[in-house]
Amino acid sequence: MSNLQTLINRNQDFKNQFGHSDLPILPKLRTVILTCADSRVDPAHIFDLGLGDSVVIRNTGGRVTQETIDEIASYAFMSAMMDKSKGVQEPFEVVILHHTQCGAERFANPELQKALKNKTGVDVASIAIHDHEESMAEDLNRLIDAKKELPDHIIVSGSIYDVKTGGVETTINPSTLEDLRRATPNE
């Protein structure tokens, strides 16, 4: 049985109380939160976000992929263009938010990876989470390496959300890509 009617009914309640028709295109907090698609991990609840506060990108594991880099680049470009028209440059931030008990941890199992690839053609090796801090470092390095797509002034950070306690622990302190690129040896 479909849950569509339940969602439509909830939307009617939302519509009846809606008062946000004047929100700007760019998020008020000038932040993109990249997180997992897991239904237990909702940044609106975790960070008490209001409508229009932040862009949220969700995928399996909350991993930095080429697609997420492209999305972040488009938001950063739009932000810079709007800032230029106003004669300002405001900070633009990316928060990587992983979480405990993530399904992408199961993708670290080589047998599961192989079975999934054989059955569906989907290769999950690049999004598998072996260790959250390692995976977070990999994601950060993907952002650092995206020199063509992502401007230096973007601030990035990383945190892990605990699905049992509701708490968030910062594992990568906020830094600009410029500072991180300077600190990373050239390859």
Domain-embedded: residue 15? no
Amino acid 134: pLDDT: 94
The annotation status of 102 as a binding-site residue, yes or no, is yes
The annotation status of 99 as a binding-site residue, yes or no, is yes
- Segment 19-24 mean pLDDT: 92
pLDDT at 185 over 70: no
Domain-embedded: residue 163? yes
pLDDT at 186 over 70: no
8-state DSSP, 50:
P
The annotation status of 153 as a binding-site residue, yes or no, is no
pTM: 0.91
Domain-embedded: residue 129? yes
- Segment 92-104 mean pLDDT: 96
- Segment 24-34 mean pLDDT: 93
Q: 93 with 76: CB under 8 angstroms?
A: no
State the alpha helices, DSSP H only, in 18-166.
43-46, 66-86, 110-120, 132-145
Average pLDDT of the chain is 94
The annotation status of 130 as a binding-site residue, yes or no, is no
Domain count, the chain: 1
Domain-embedded: residue 82? yes
Domain-embedded: residue 6? no
Q: Return the CATH number at 165.
A: 3.40.1050.10
- Sign of the Cα torsion 48, 51, 52, 58 reads positive
Domain-embedded: residue 121? yes
Domain-embedded: residue 175? yes
Distance, CA of 103 to CA of 100 (rounded, Å): 9
Amino acid 167: pLDDT: 98
Domain-embedded: residue 67? yes
Unique residue bearing structure tokens 């054989």 = 118
Amino acid 97: pLDDT: 98
Amino acid 187: pLDDT: 53
Tokens standing for 52? 């229009």
Amino acid 45: pLDDT: 97
Domain of residue 166 covers 25-183
Amino acid 128: pLDDT: 94
pLDDT in tens, 56-86: 999 999 999 999 999 999 999 998 888 778 7
Report residue 89's pLDDT band, with 50, 70 and 90 as the boundaries.
confident
